[in-house]
Amino acid sequence: MPDPALLALTWRVSRRGLLASPFVVAAGLAFPAFVVWTGFRESYETAAKLFFFALPHLFLIGSQDAVRSEVESGALESVLFIGGRFRGYLGLKSLFGAGLIAAYAALLFGLLAAWGAAAGGLEPAFVARFGLALLAGLYYVAVAGVLSHVLRGAAGVLALLLAQAAAVIVLILTTTARAGLLDYAAAGRFPAIGAALRFGALVAVLPNIVVAGRLPAFAAEILAIFVLAVLLRGRLVRALEIRK
Amino acid sequence: MIEAHKLAKRYGRVEALQDVSFKIRKGTITAMLGENGAGKTTTLKIALGFLRPDAGSVAIAPGRVGYVPDRPAFPAGLDGWTILGLCRNRERAGGEGNGRSFAAAVLGASRSLLFDPGLLRRAPGAYSAGNAKKFAFLQNLVLAPDLLVADEPYAALDPPAVKCVRDIFCGLRDAGKTVLISSHMLAEMERIADGFVVLRRGRTIVHAGLREWRLLRASRTGPDLESVFLLLSGP
């Protein structure tokens, strides 16, 4: 059972960290506004697709966990964190950050579902798609958390965004008239192991792809990498020392 | 109260500590002295759990432990009152006074440090270096530690604040608490310390109580701590 004083401290710092970041607040407000705008301009179905596909990026933007920056700032070398308490704090911090974003995502999903119920577009499959979007979001939190042990500030988040941009550019440049990765993914079948591996690599960089729900094997891949990242993060935190 | 046994710590190729051992009794002020890079801060950080020793061990008697770092930094975005409240919560067993008595205790401690309580409404990250140091002491006074560890406690403080901090150290000792200070201010240490641990190149070269220290001083024909220290740490 974590000590209640550490829980209170971590909760305050995590909440404050998220709400004090203009980038996170802007993204948190712009995302539902864009979904609503899409819904009015196109259709509820398109808005729902956009919601589920883009939702994991809320977690990515909010997961500027920055362990290295925090260690280097000296803030962990404080009476609040003596006796190795800084390790518990860092472990809880990413948990609270993810929990706060997940709570916000659940609120938005509730509003989307209410809109769908009123518009007659609500589908039971949305619950599973929301679950997959949460999984992809938590994957981002875990991977960005590992990267934040090495990279300063939001550089881990930026590295993931750049990797995604690079993957999309490569995908566009290698598109031919013949059936390609996205066609195989849309069909849910890959003709060869090479194509499946290439798509697996794409999913690892852009896990939002799994929210469609047609690719359970790749959702399992995301789950496996998420678990590995959580274990690695725990190991890194346990080995951490404050050497400022 | 604290017992360190054969501590060793390496940062890559640099051997920060090779053999550091000392024992500090309860209700005393102990000064840890040494040149820059002697291993004082590393020793304190190991004792406080910020670093893990490669070899050796540190045992600290149960009780509240406080710490004033050389250059204090604080969690971003939290104001002074919030941080002090979190410090109080760290060790509070429950039912130890209400909000009003806590505020009165903070104001009393602020006065004893010549710290302006109006600053507590702001985040300590915005304080001057001197006020940040005073706030770090204030955190510890709120905590009421049984053992207070301070790394360069007088750095950035003005002369009146130095006197206040000295009074705090002596007050803690008189109340049966233990104080461990790492400092280069030898005259100040000679004035208040009951014992000395001198480190050199990661090793304990002297570990003496006040009486032993006076004997050492006499035998080395040094008029003060500074001259004895310079003799000990000479080439």
What the block records as the tokens of B111 is 């006065």
| Nearest alpha-carbon partner for A98 in A185, A17, A26 | A17
Beta strands in B39-174 (DSSP E): 55-60, 65-68, 147-151
Q: In this structure, is residue A114 part of a structural domain?
A: yes
| Total structural domains within chain A | 1
CB B192 within 8 A of CB B180: no
Asked if B139 and A8 come within 8 Å (Cβ–Cβ), the reply is no
How would residue B97 be classed by pLDDT, with cut points 50, 70 and 90? Answer: low
Task: Report the range of poorest mean pLDDT among A22-31, B3-12, B133-142, B216-225.
Answer: B216-225
Are A217 and A133 spatial neighbours (Cβ–Cβ below 8 Å)?
Answer: no
The average pLDDT across B105-123 equals: 90
Kindly give the pairing relationship between strand B195-200 and strand B29-34: parallel
What would the pLDDT profile of B145-201 be if each residue is shown by its tens digit?
999 999 999 999 999 999 999 999 999 999 999 999 999 988 889 889 988 999 999
The number of CA neighbours under 13 Å toward the Cβ of A99 is 10
Instruction: Kindly give, in sequence order, each residue whose CB lies less than 8 Å from that of residue B121, ignoring residues fewer than 6 positions away.
Output: B79, B80, B81
Distance CA B77, CA B82 (A): 10
Domain of A211 in residue numbering reads as 4-239
- Distance, CA of A44 to CA of A209 (rounded, Å): 20
Contacts of A85 in chain B (CB under 8 A): 49
One DSSP character per residue, B24-63 reads: E-TT-EEEEEE-TTSSHHHHHHHHHTSS--SEEEEEE-SS
pTM: 0.85
Distance, in Å, from the CA atom of B4 to the CA atom of A244, rounded to the nearest integer, reads 22
- Residues of chain B that touch chain A, judged by Cβ-Cβ distance less than 8 Å: 11, 45, 48-52, 65-69, 71-78, 82-83, 86-87, 89-92, 136, 139-140, 143
Q: Is residue A16 part of a domain?
A: yes
Residues from chain B contacting residue A82 (CB–CB below 8 Å)? 48-50, 65, 67
Q: State residue B235's pLDDT score.
A: 63
* CA angle centred on A10, ends A207 and B60, rounded to 5°: 125
Contact B126, B47 (CB under 8 A): no
**Is residue A244 situated within a structural domain?**
no
pLDDT digits (tens, 9 = 90+) for A68-118: 888 888 889 988 888 888 999 998 888 999 999 999 999 999 999 999 999
Mean per-residue pLDDT for A59-63?
89
Give the model's confidence band at B94: pLDDT under 50 very low, under 70 low, under 90 confident, else very high.
very low
Q: For residue B95, what pLDDT is reported?
A: 45
Quote ipTM for the complex.
0.83
Probe site for chain A from B9, B52, B90, B135 (most A CB atoms < 10 A): B90
